[in-house]
Amino acid sequence: MYMAGKQLLKSELSFPYDEKYVQVVESIVKTKKGYRCVRCDNEDQQLFASFPCARCGRICTYCRKCIMMGRCSECNPLVIWTGPVPSTSFSSPLKWSGKLSPAQQLASDEVCHAIDRNDSLLVWAVCGAGKTEVLFAGINMALSQGKRVCIAAPRTDVVLELAPRLASVFPSVDMAALYGGSQDRGKLASLTVSTTHQLLRYYRAFDVMIVDEVDAFPYSVDPMLSYAVERARKPTSSLIYLTATPNEQWQSEVKRGKRKAVTIPARYHRRPLPVPTFEWCGNWKKKWRHNRLPSCVVQWVNEHLERNKQAFFFVPYIDFLQQVVPYLQQFHPHIEGVHAEDPKRKEKVLAFRRGQISILVTTTILERGVTVPNIDVAVFGAEQPIFTESALVQIAGRVGRSAQYPTGDIRFFHFGKTKAMLKAKRHIVSMNDEARKRGLIDE
Amino acid sequence: MKCLICHDEWMPTMSFAMLLTLRQADVCCPRCRARFIRLEGNRCERCSRLIDQAVCEDCIAWEKRKSVLKQNVSVYMYNDWMKEVMNRFKFRGDYALIEAFRHDVRTVFSKHFSSDVCLVPIPLSPSRLAERGFNQAEAIASLLPLPMIFALRRIDDEKQSKKTRRERFTGRKFCITGENVAEKRIVIVDDIYTTGATVHEAAKLLYDAGARDISSFTLVRS
């Protein structure tokens, strides 16, 4: 049963398998355009390469796109499980005594409904709405019905955060946490939390597929990942998407009623989302060439240092970050910078949480997940294309998360308003409006 | 074009020098390129280790043991980036990455060795070769326009990287295949020089088989 629900490369198999229940298919196929990788759907010819293969003795073509999951090559076929996938059912495994807000409850009911009917559903919940709790009842029901559940998250850090949380509320359920280098590799559990990449090893395995942060990198830009999700779930299964910032197409599909969705427009603490303010800061690039920052930005920095209020300062590029951090550190040593490839990333974020850093200058990597109470944020160069609507909404979502400090200042310093900035603001305002209408905010 | 390593799009800058010398543009983007650190400056003259002494302690010890390896030349430092790239190249099997090393391998090799040498790549065991599909040492040697002699065969199947320092020094790893190496000048090629146990043992076997003037060349010095 080691193969059940999987698609593995022949070279990965160390045990003999039951041939009755598997199908062996070529992993690299020739198409009109050239080659296609069957495992990851790559058709970009620049991402295929050939080499003199000692295994088949020929010039063998392989896929470079999914190479980190083992090499798919012409002489290394995929072995796909076509037999039955065993199921285990649990009787009400959820051990959680928390209470849902009315909006969460409504969303939770919709999730249950979708899972029960093998439907698809978009849960559109603002940052800090408490999305994870909304899933509990649905997962509980699925596990009671003997369904296999998978939560796919975009990145390893999300898996590492989510897995222990689910393990604590479903203590009796066998779980797998899958990411690059994980101990659970190859496990087929009743409840799986996985990076989307790892799903490339599964085939028609899951009855419930929950995709967290669908709008986030890399899921939003890499078609391989939605392909992996489609192949890993059963043909009859439910598909739940979670996001705070659906893309434009999805937003309009929801409005026109073409996509089933449920919104949670307010935070669990029942206070409105803080709305960003725009502040024109002139041609900052030109100023920076003379080693100067716009005066309104300098003022913002000084104010925060004086009031001793912690803040994130978002900048558009790593290069700029590396120049501006030493410049700001001249004024104050409690300013630090962090970016995606920073080896001290974890330490710096921790130091910020502990209050040892006053202002953390960062690129868009911190737009999600990092939650620190009582902070402000500023976006510098908010007109730059990297700051999309969803990035800006996520950034604004860092502020006012805790019930104790539900407000805060969000400032977009810009050299000309962009559509993305306006849409982001409109997005937040309309969420607040809907919440008011539904009576989800106390004012 | 697409960077060979990070797959991001980048625009190589064209120059007249490139047109005139027909030099190819780099296969990887400047950001990835800058992370490879070439071994330069103060090094042990025998093994390329970065150190302020002329000859390092390890090489003095090798000399006492009467090693016949004249010197080892390596191209890159073994930093975190190199570890990541080597992992993808060797263990994941992304053969195409070899192209990222072509230019530096050729330049460093021709600086240290004459063109009348023969290359002896360090072999893999048949089972490991079947598992990986290629021999990384042979892939590196194939970047150089010089004859290769397959003079060695592996008799021990364990990965060097899975052994302790002590285990690497005891026990034989190779035997001679019988290919003629008599009176030839040999450069042994491998992917990485760590303790040197592998190439020193290979050198001894080749010396006993009649080879003269034996050196080694590795992509990385750890």
In this prediction, residue A367 carries a pLDDT of 66
Do residues B49 and B98 share a domain?
Answer: yes
Residue B189 pairs with which residues in a beta bridge?
B121, B217
Do residues B52 and B159 share a domain?
Answer: yes
Residue (of A117, A274, A126) closest to A208 by Cα position: A117
In angstroms, the separation between the Cα of residue B153 and the nearest Cα of chain A is 16
In this prediction, residue B169 carries a pLDDT of 66
Query: Rounded distance, CA A260 to CA A114, Å?
Result: 10
Residue (of A264, A262, A263) closest to A121 by Cα position: A262
In this prediction, residue B137 carries a pLDDT of 97
Residue A123 pairs with which residues in a beta bridge?
A242, A262
Chain A's closest residue to B84, CA to CA, is A68
In angstroms, the separation between the Cα of residue B92 and the nearest Cα of chain A is 6
Provide the residue-wise pLDDT of chain B in tens; the chain has 222 residues. Answer: 889 999 988 888 777 777 777 677 889 999 899 999 999 989 999 999 999 889 999 999 999 999 999 999 999 999 999 999 999 999 999 999 999 999 999 999 999 999 999 999 999 999 899 989 999 999 999 999 999 999 999 986 666 677 777 776 666 889 899 899 999 999 999 999 999 999 999 999 999 999 989 999 999 998
Instruction: Report the domain count for chain B.
Output: 2
| Structural fold of domain A277-437 | Rossmann fold (3.40.50)
Dihedral over Cα of A70, A74, A76, A80: its sign: positive
- The answer to whether residues B181 and B206 touch, using CB atoms and an 8 Å cutoff, is yes
Do residues B81 and B166 share a domain?
Answer: yes
Residue (of A185, A186, A233) closest to A205 by Cα position: A233
Q: Contacts for A102-107 with beta carbons within 8 Å, 24 or more apart?
A: A102/A440, A103/A129, A103/A264, A103/A265, A103/A266, A103/A435, A103/A438, A103/A440, A104/A129, A104/A130, A104/A133, A104/A134, A104/A264, A104/A268, A106/A262, A106/A264, A107/A134, A107/A262, A107/A263, A107/A264
- The answer to whether residues A51 and A25 touch, using CB atoms and an 8 Å cutoff, is no
- The answer to whether residues A143 and A90 touch, using CB atoms and an 8 Å cutoff, is yes
Interface test with A, best of B2, B7, B94, B154 (most A CBs within 10 A): B94
- The answer to whether residues B203 and B69 touch, using CB atoms and an 8 Å cutoff, is yes
B88 reaches A (C-beta below 8 A): yes
Does the domain at A102-264 match CATH 3.40.640.10? Answer given as: no
Domain ranges of chain A: 7-81, 102-264, 277-437
Query: Rounded distance, CA A372 to CA A349, Å?
Result: 10
In this prediction, residue A1 carries a pLDDT of 57
Do residues B58 and B148 share a domain?
Answer: yes
State whether residue B174 is helix, strand or coil: strand
- The answer to whether residues A227 and A40 touch, using CB atoms and an 8 Å cutoff, is yes
CA distances from A247 to A222, A223, A343, A391, A414 (A): 15, 15, 31, 11, 23
**Domains A102-264 and A277-437 belong to one CATH topology:** yes
Do residues B28 and B42 share a domain?
Answer: no
Q: Which domain holds residue B109?
A: 37-221
CATH number, position B145 = 3.40.50
In this prediction, residue B9 carries a pLDDT of 87
Which B positions 137-156 lie with beta carbon below 8 A of chain A? 139
Do residues B127 and B169 share a domain?
Answer: yes
Consecutive sets of 10 residues in chain A, 443 residues long: mean pLDDT of each? Answer: 87 80 94 95 95 94 95 95 91 92 94 96 91 95 96 88 93 94 89 94 96 79 90 96 88 91 92 95 93 93 92 93 92 87 84 91 77 91 92 92 92 96 95 93 83
Do residues B30 and B136 share a domain?
Answer: no
Query: Rounded distance, CA B8 to CA B132, Å?
Result: 27
Do residues B21 and B114 share a domain?
Answer: no
Residues A10, A12, A18: CA angle, nearest 5 degrees: 60
State whether residue B148 is helix, strand or coil: strand
Residue with tokens 């209020």, as numbered in its chain: A309
Do residues B13 and B95 share a domain?
Answer: no
Do residues B21 and B41 share a domain?
Answer: no
Does the ipTM surpass 0.95? Answer: no
Do residues B134 and B99 share a domain?
Answer: yes
A47 reaches B (C-beta below 8 A): yes
Query: Rounded distance, CA A385 to CA A352, Å?
Result: 27
Q: Do B133 and A70 touch (CB under 8 A)?
A: no
Q: Do A70 and B92 touch (CB under 8 A)?
A: yes
Beta strands A48-52 and A59-63: pairing type? antiparallel
In angstroms, the separation between the Cα of residue A188 and the nearest Cα of chain B is 23
Do residues B216 and B130 share a domain?
Answer: yes
